Amino acid sequence: PQDIATALADATPWGADVTRRAAILNAAADAYEAHAGELFAILSREAGKALPDAVAELREAVDFLRYYAAQAQPDQQARGIWTCISPWNLPVASFTGQIAAALAAGNAVLAKPAEQTPLIATRAVSLMHAAGVPASALQLLPGGGDIGAALTGDARINGVAFTGSTATALKIRETMAKHCTPGTPLIAETGGLNAMIVDSTALPEHAVRDIINGAFRSAGQRCSALRCLYVQAHIADHLLPLPQGAMG
């Protein structure tokens, strides 16, 4: 509780001008790329990532930093202090994307990574600090749901970005309604019911590759995971044994 109180008291919106903020976010992207091997190792150890998945995730994290650096505008008004709560399945990409968006607009960020993946979050934050993000503008608060509840139930919070389960998002909404100023934004990316449609023009081997990746990467626990597969009737008898074999 004392760490949370200190973080809230010390959080200071990033007052640097937009050009400086964008340059630092791009420098953080460069640092991510320079430390790719180290980040891959942590992703493998802590999140169980296979190398192709780790490569894709780091690319996404770097893209987030560069994208929000490019989107930053001089006339944007910072809201103040944002709580950013990210998931274990994309523990550097989702984590970085939430933070970069808030920082690009000049906000302060209290970052709460998934309790399963604090090591990769710690390294990412250290690289952002080394690139020039002030410690007062980006603070890391690892821990469980009690930390998240404290960081979404304080009147000083001016916005929350959350990626995770629908049930948790509803709890956050309820907590914010009780404690935060009316109208405080909640950006919640939760579960999806996603379909793939395969028709007779698809190459079966490509379809099977995408079915397996879509349904089973991160054990199927992604907002973008494939949940429903629709196959054109007259190719179904030929196609369906292929993903079954791939699963086997």
Would you name the residues annotated as active-site residues? 189, 223
Q: 64: which 2 tokens?
A: 């987030």
How far, in Å, CA of 219 to CA of 169, rounded? 21
How far, in Å, CA of 178 to CA of 241, rounded? 52
**HSE of 74, CA atoms in CB hemisphere, 13 A:** 1
Helices marked H in the chain — which ranges? Answer: 2-10, 18-34, 36-47, 51-71, 93-104, 118-131, 145-152, 166-179, 204-216, 233-239, 241-247
